[in-house]
Amino acid sequence: MKSLKVTNFSQIALWLGLLLLAILSRFMLLTNKPIHFDEGINGWFVMQMSKLGFYKYDPNNYHGPLYFYVLQLFESLWGRSLEVLRAVPAVFSVLSVMVFLYGALSSRFVNLSMAVLVLISPAFIFFGRSGIHEMPFVFFQIVFALGLLRWLQRQDSKALGLFLLGLWGMLTLKETFVVTLFAWGVGLLALGPRTLRDLFGVSRIAQAWNRSVTVLFLVLLLLFVQLFTGFFKNPSGLLDFFKAILPWLKTGVHGQG
Q: Is 120 exposed, middle or buried (0-12, 13-18, 19+ CB in 10 A)?
A: exposed
Query: 76-85, 151-160, 246-255: which range is least confident on average?
Result: 246-255
What is the pLDDT, as a whole number, of residue 11? 81
| pLDDT at 255 exceeding the cut of 60 | no
What is the pLDDT, as a whole number, of residue 250? 65
Q: What share of the chain is helix, strand, coil (3-state, %, to 5)?
A: 75, 0, 25
- List Cβ<8 Å contacts ≥24 apart for 48-55: 52/230, 53/230, 53/233, 54/230, 54/231, 54/233, 54/234, 55/227, 55/230
Whether residue 57 contacts residue 237, with contact meaning beta carbons closer than 8 Å, is answered with: yes
What is the pLDDT, as a whole number, of residue 7? 61
Between 27 and 107, residue with greater pLDDT: 27
Q: How far is CA 105 from CA 37, 73, 198, in A?
A: 38, 32, 20
What is the pLDDT, as a whole number, of residue 192? 92
Report the amino acid identity of residue 205.
I
Cα–Cα distance, 223 to 182 (Å, whole number): 24
What is the pLDDT, as a whole number, of residue 247? 65
Side-chain half-sphere CA neighbours of 217 within 13 A: 10
What is the pLDDT, as a whole number, of residue 252? 57
Query: 27-41, 91-105, 137-151, 237-251: which range is least confident on average?
Result: 237-251
- Residue range 25-56, pLDDT digits in tens: 999 999 998 898 899 999 999 999 988 889 98
**Residue 186 structural domain:** 2-253
Task: Calculate the average pLDDT of the chain.
Answer: 90
Report the amino acid identity of residue 131.
G
| pLDDT at 126 exceeding the cut of 90 | yes
Q: In total, how many domains does the chain have?
A: 1
The distance in angstroms from the start CA to the end CA of the chain is 60
Q: Is 16 exposed, middle or buried (0-12, 13-18, 19+ CB in 10 A)?
A: exposed
> Which of 151, 138, 213 has its CA nearest to residue 188?
151
As a whole number, mean pLDDT of residues 129-143 equals 95
Give the model's confidence band at 251: pLDDT under 50 very low, under 70 low, under 90 confident, else very high.
Answer: low
